[in-house]
Amino acid sequence: MAVVVGALFLLLAAGLGAAVWPQPQGIRQDPQIRCRLSSRQFRFAHANHSAAEPGCEVLDGAFRRYWQLLFPPGYKETTGSNMEDLCPNLLVSVTQARCSDYPTLESPEDYKLSVSVDLMLLTATSIWGALRGLETFSQLAWRDEDGTFYLNKTDVVDFPRFAHRGLLLDTSRHYLPLKVILETLDVMAYNKFNVFHWHIVDDPSFPFESMVFPDLSLKGSYNSATHVYTANDVKVVIEYARLRGIRIIPEFDTPGHTLSWGPGVPGLLTPCYITTKPSGTYGPVNPILNSTYQFMASFFAEVSSIFPDFYLHLGGDEVDFNCWKSNPDIQAFMQKMQFGQDYAKLESFYIQRLLDIVSSYKKGYMVWQEVFDNGVKVNPNTIIHVWKVNPVTFQEEMSRVTEAGFRTLLSSPWYLNYISYGQDWLAAYRVEPLDFKGSAEQKKLVIGGEACMWGEYVDATNLNPRLWPRAGAVAERLWSNRTVRNQRDAYARLSVFRCTLLRRGIRAEPLYTGYCEYDAL
């Protein structure tokens, strides 16, 4: 490891500086040609022939943010050598500029970046690609011993390997304050993640405020005054994410993981029995009542109107059949439907009706892999989210899902809530999402993956150091070329990036022994 750490300091001392994370598809630098960044002169600007003009809120907001990241409050200007060229303004040109749109799965994120002493130009197909290019540009700046910031002559050609690069946060097991979610969105943008999978409710609490069913959060949250995401909070998250090129995909997991729904919607959950008497406890959503589907139709109509992304995540995982088995009304329904004792068929009955409801609102959906494993009939456009490691490996599951013709997301090896002593980011980094048996056409069905941070032992006190920079390993695997696998190089770049995060106010944990000048902030 000493060799790796030494390589890091050689990288910095040599003025090579550019430790871009995630690694671009193509980057070429000449450390012999450089210019000096000056806060007094440097600006971001729209190029003359760009489809975006001043007033494009996505780019104008990004210009302000990245200028402040380069020159934060308290920044002290240094003069450098009088012989050095000052860096010109960075001109930004985009081909498509729908500045009021939301990013989608199909949104292009490619960009080209040219940095020289005469001209600095960022070109992109879309405003979302321009955002990714601005992040790369911000990481190219390096500082010498005197505190002067420089840019080396650089050419970058870049685009993501996978279209869906997500991060899941669980806000039910522990409530995460709004400011923590917004800060996470900032760091996601620094890592070029583009999907926030908001696992917003679960068994322990229901912190989502519904205008149609207010009792859900009033009776199902930890504290309805302090631990609820109001309608305005949700709007703030959606817009904050949009301005950073990040999609919001909410998850409302049913029929399991729904205990917090029960207090606000009497009759929704299944009463469990001991012999012939109710036990006083409740299980999954009751799938045999018409009232269940009337509620779901109204609730998902509201959800569909609030969240603009085409996709909703509908869960469908870990349904405990024991309560259903104990309930005499459900037993009778099973006989009537000729399901025998196959309660997966009852689950399928529920899921199919729910999917029909969501489809009626012109929404697409994602589901956890159990829905596929249990043979539920789903729309061909359904996205199957692979998360399990038993009884089959994720590679076997990916092979089966894609062989059936479904698009898929991978999370199985990227559960970052599991921690261990040492550099456990390496295990996430070594994963190859397409390392499974299947044709080229099957592998095209893998649209990306997600890092998951489940909340049993995570709240606002430890989220950032547990998440960053470890999640960056997943970010690079999903963005960069498959050939980017050199772990020594990754360690050096990720160490520099972690130091950048500290400079930006993010309490990212260290990778190993070493030194960053911002680690005492």
Give SS3 for 333.
Answer: helix
Match 């669980």 to its residue by tokens.
Answer: 170
**Cross-strand bridge partners of residue 278:** 273
Active site includes 318?
yes
Cα angle at 200 between 194 and 202, to 5 degrees? Answer: 135
CA distance 477 to 432: 8
90-94 and 120-124 strand pairing? parallel
Nearest to 269 by CA among 251, 288, 250: 288
The 3-class secondary structure across 69-91, one letter per residue, is HHCCCCCCCCCCCCCCCECCCEE
Helix (H) or strand (E) holding 168, with range, is strand 164-170
CB 176 within 8 A of CB 198: no
Residues in Cβ contact with 365 at an 8 Å cutoff, skipping those fewer than 6 apart: 311, 312, 313, 314, 355, 358, 359, 379, 382, 383
Give SS3 for 311.
Answer: strand
Nearest to 141 by CA among 30, 17, 9: 17
By CB atoms closer than 10 A (0-12, 13-18, 19+), residue 47 is middle
Output Rg (C-alpha) for the chain, integer angstroms: 25
Secondary structure E strands in 219-374: 247-251, 269-274, 277-285, 311-313, 364-368
Secondary structure E strands in 372-426: 383-386, 407-410
CB 95 within 8 A of CB 129: no
Q: From residue 390, how far is each of 185, 316, 320, 396, 446 by CA, in Å?
A: 32, 17, 17, 10, 20
CB 367 within 8 A of CB 378: yes
Give SS3 for 166.
Answer: strand
CA distance 193 to 189: 6
**Cross-strand bridge partners of residue 277:** 274
CA distance 60 to 24: 24
Catalytic residue, chosen from 53, 318, 441, 517, is 318
By CB atoms closer than 10 A (0-12, 13-18, 19+), residue 490 is buried
**Other beta carbons within 10 Å of 231:** 13
CA distance 367 to 400: 15
Any idea which residues carry the catalytic annotation? Answer: 318
